[in-house]
Structure 1
Amino acid sequence: MSGFSYKDIYIEDGKRVLEVNILPEKHCNFDCIFCPIGRSHNKVDTQQSFDEIDNSLNELNNMIEDNNVELVFINSKGEALVNDKIDDVIDLIKSKGVPVRLLSNGYILGRDEYIKIVNKCDEVIGEIKAITEEDFQKIQRPIQGYTLEEYISNMVLFNKQYKGKFILEVTIIKGYNDTDESINKIKDVINKLSPDKIIVGRMEDERFKKKLGITDERFEEISKALLNS
């Protein structure tokens, strides 16, 4: 039995993409109030061991071969980097001649032990949601001791030495980062980080959309402002 789970193969920019979750349950260094997966009962930022990795790797190998996969997107329940076998996962994918995209919330990208692993990936996605320290603590509920300043700094330091494609995913949240002042702060982060691509999103989950979602008009305004920055 495999500990990995998969989404159906889909086409993106003409490529067949396999999206894989390498965590058996949610393990994350945040406990965001709007997380679609639910609460973080395993709030960690150090690597953990999970069972049956050999079966999982064999299944992943077969999935890649049987589906003519052209990109593997490691998009997990929480922070994929805390799986202590992620190195093996990336090495397997690369051995098939297939590029790797990794989603990380971005906080631990500044740590040497993770930098070495993530540098193997062809694309990395980091995230920005809260833009003030108070909101960062309130809505993202990080591990104690985490600060927004260090969060941003970790991504900046990582991207300065990273040779692949760094993608910044910005989520706009009503009442937290949707004012003009907040957008200017996000622009400052973008300028510091210099990502290769920016993705602007908003609350789409029906459980959070009513309270934290923004109007189409405001979303379009913000998207234009950020994408042109």
Structure 2
Amino acid sequence: MGSFSYKEIYIEDGKRVLEVNILPEKHCNFDCIFCPIGRSQNKVDIQKSFDETDSSLIELESMIENTKAELIFINSKGEALVNDKIGDIIDLIKSKGVPVRLLSNGYLLGRDEYIRIANKCDGVIGEIKAITEEHFQKIQRPIDGYTIGEYISNMVSFNKQYKGKFIFEITIIKGYNDDEESIQKIKNIIKEISPDKIIIARMEDEKFKKKLGITDERFEGISNALLNI
């Protein structure tokens, strides 16, 4: 048995989606205070090898065939790009004639080695939560030296050369980016990145919802403001 884990097949836009996590435990370049997986014991932004990759690839191939998946969504415990076999994983999926969508927090999309990997995918999701340097460092606790400016510019430069569908997910967090000034800044970021699709999210995990969640009314108002620019 391999080290990948899977969610039950679900239907999205009429397609059978197989969601796969390619990390055996959390490895991420951030250590967000609200991460539902917990603390980042392995805070990394360079690739590393994991055990059982060969058996995991065999299992993935079997899962694709047995589930008749029409889209594979690589959504991992942390930053999937740090798995040094991710290129092989994507190549295997593509060889089966199935499109691939990759979730990344987006910070690594400014580095050539990761750009080449992400460019293989039919869709890439980048994210943003904090929008000021102070909040970025406080609540996302990135690797030392990371800045919010580079975070945004990495996604901007990536999408300018990307031929697939770039999806930009924005999580609204009470007290951090839900005020009018922040919404205007987010609008400007959206215009810079120019994504193909925007997803507006909020804190849904019960552990964080009470303190960091926003009301339905406010969420609807912000969503309308950001989706209609």
Tell me if both proteins adopt one fold, taking TM over 0.5 as the criterion.
yes
Aligned to 2:69: 69
What corresponds to 1:149 in structure 2? 149
How many residues align structurally? 229
Q: Which residue of 2 aligns with 1:181?
A: 181
Aligned-pair distance for 1:194? 0.2
Alpha-carbon separation, structure 2, partners of 1:156 and 1:24: 30
| 2:31 paired residue number | 31
Determine the C-alpha separation between the residues in 1 that align with 2:53 and 2:210.
40
- Where in structure 1 do 4 or more consecutive aligned residues deviate above 6 Å? none
Deviation at 1:24, TM superposition (A): 0.2
What residue is the counterpart of 2:194 in the other structure?
Answer: 194
Secondary structure of residue in 1 paired with 2:39: coil
Amino acid at match of 1:175: G
Question: What are the Cα deviations for residues 91-133 of structure 1, in whole angstroms up to 9, with x where unaligned?
Answer: 0000000000000000000100000011000000000100100
Q: Are residue 4 (structure 1) and residue 7 (structure 2) matched?
A: no
Question: For residue 113 of structure 2, what is the aligned residue in structure 1?
Answer: 113
Matched to 2:78, the amino acid is G
Amino acid at match of 1:143: I
2:60 corresponding residue in structure 1: 60
Corresponding residue for residue 225 of structure 1: 225
Q: Which runs of 5+ in 2 are unaligned?
A: none
Match runs of 1:82-121 below 5 Å: 82-121=82-121
Report the CA distance between 1:66 and its aligned residue: 0.7
Paired letter, 1:170: I
In structure 1, C-alpha distance between the alignment counterparts of 2:85 and 2:34, rounded to whole Å: 28
Show the counterpart of 2:43. Answer: 43
RMSD of aligned C-alpha atoms?
A: 0.4
Match of 1:203 in 2: 203
Report 1:154-169 matches (<5 A). Answer: 154-169=154-169
Structure 1 letter corresponding to 2:125: I
Paired letter, 1:200: I
Show the 5 A alignment for 1:119-130.
119-130=119-130
Rounded Cα–Cα distance in structure 1 between residues aligned with 2:124 and 2:107: 13
Gap runs ≥5 in structure 1: none
Sequence identity of aligned pairs in percent? 81
Instruction: Report SS of the residue matched to 1:25.
Output: coil
CA distance in 2, matches of 1:73, 1:62: 16
Q: How do 1:13-24 and structure 2 match up within 5 A?
A: 13-24=13-24
Give TM-score, length-normalised by structure 1.
Answer: 1.00
Matched residues in 2 for 1:61 and 1:181: separation?
A: 47
Aligned partners of 1:19, 1:56: CA distance in 2, in Å? 14
